[in-house]
Amino acid sequence: MTTRYGTTPDAEVPGDREDDDLDQSLRNIEQAVRTAQRAFDEIGRCNQLLDHAQESGDEAIQELDVLLRHREHAAVPALLDRLDVLAAEVARSEADRTVVCRILFGEDEEDGPADAVDAWTVPRLTADDLPRIPTVHDVEDPGDSTLEDMWERDRALASRQHEVRQERTRIAADHLRTVTAKAVDSFGTPTATAALLAEARRAYVLWASCVR
C-alpha cells in the first residue's frame, strides 16, 4: 500500500488471524484428547493390575485353606509375605489412579469412595477370646474317690482338654482365614488392606500357638 508519505506494511487480514486461532484451538483439542487417552489407558492399567492381584490373592486363599487343614503352620508366613507384595503393588497403582482421576475428572480423594479402614471392619481375636483349657482345679473331687474314680476323672479331663484345644485351633484358623480373605477382597482400598493383613499376622501367631 502506497501513500504520499511512502510505502506502509500490508494491514493484517482478519481472516488470517481467525485461521490461526482455529488452528490453535484444534491443536489444544488434539492435545486434550491425547491427554485424556493416556489417562484412560492408565486407569485401564490400574484395573488390570487390581484384577490380577485379586486373582493371585484368591489362589493364595485356596493355598491357605490347605495349609490350615493340614496344620502346616511353617508355610503360612511365606504366603502372607506374597500377599504383602501384592498389596504394595496395588497400593502404588491405586495412588496413580487417584492422581489420574484428579487430573481427568477433578476428583479429590475425599470426593471418591472413602479409602478408610471403617469401610472394611477389621475383626479381632486374642487368646482371651478363646475357650479356656480346663485344668485339674476344674474337676470336682468328692474326697472319698477310689483309684479307679481318679483314673476316670483324669481320663475325662484329658478328653475335655483335647476337645477344647481342637475348638481353639478351629476358631483361630477360621479367624485367620476370614481376615486374610477379607484383605484380598479389600485390595482396592489399600489402607484397609494394610490393617487386615496386619491382623492376619496376629491371627497367624495365635493359630500357630494353638497348633504347636
Q: Which three cell numbers stand for residue 161?
A: 482338654
User: Which runs of E-coded beta strand occur in the chain?
Assistant: 2-3, 6-7
pLDDT in tens, 14-42: 556 666 666 777 777 877 677 778 888 88
Higher pLDDT: 194 or 30? It is 194
Q: What per-residue confidence (pLDDT) applies to 6?
A: 52
61 pLDDT more than 70: yes
Q: Residue 66: which residues within 8 A CB-CB, separation 6 or more? A: 72
SS3 3: strand
Backbone phi and psi for residue 136, each to the nearest 5 degrees, phi listed first: -65, -25
- Report the alpha-carbon distance of residue 63 to residue 69 in Å, rounded: 10
SS3 6: strand
Q: What per-residue confidence (pLDDT) applies to 37?
A: 81
Q: pTM of the predicted model, to two decimals?
A: 0.78
- Report the alpha-carbon distance of residue 102 to residue 62 in Å, rounded: 37
Give the distance between the most distant pair of CA atoms in the chain: 142
- 111 pLDDT band, cuts 50/70/90, is very low
Tell how many helices (H) and how many strands (E) occur in the chain.
Answer: 4, 2
Q: What is the DSSP letter of 71?
A: T
Domain ranges of the chain: 2-211
Q: What is the pLDDT of the chain when averaged over all its residues?
A: 85
Q: What value, to the nearest 5°, has the Cα angle with vertex 19 and ends 17 and 22?
A: 110
Q: Count CB atoms within 10 A of the CB of residue 80.
A: 18
Mean pLDDT of 104-132: 73
pLDDT in tens, 153-174: 889 999 999 999 999 999 999 9
Q: Half-sphere exposure (CA, 13 Å, Cβ side) for 110?
A: 0
Q: What per-residue confidence (pLDDT) applies to 31?
A: 77
- 102 pLDDT band, cuts 50/70/90, is confident
Q: Which three cell numbers stand for residue 135?
A: 485344668
In the block, cell 484380598 appears at 184
- 5 pLDDT band, cuts 50/70/90, is very low
pLDDT in tens, 129-153: 999 999 988 777 666 678 887 888 8
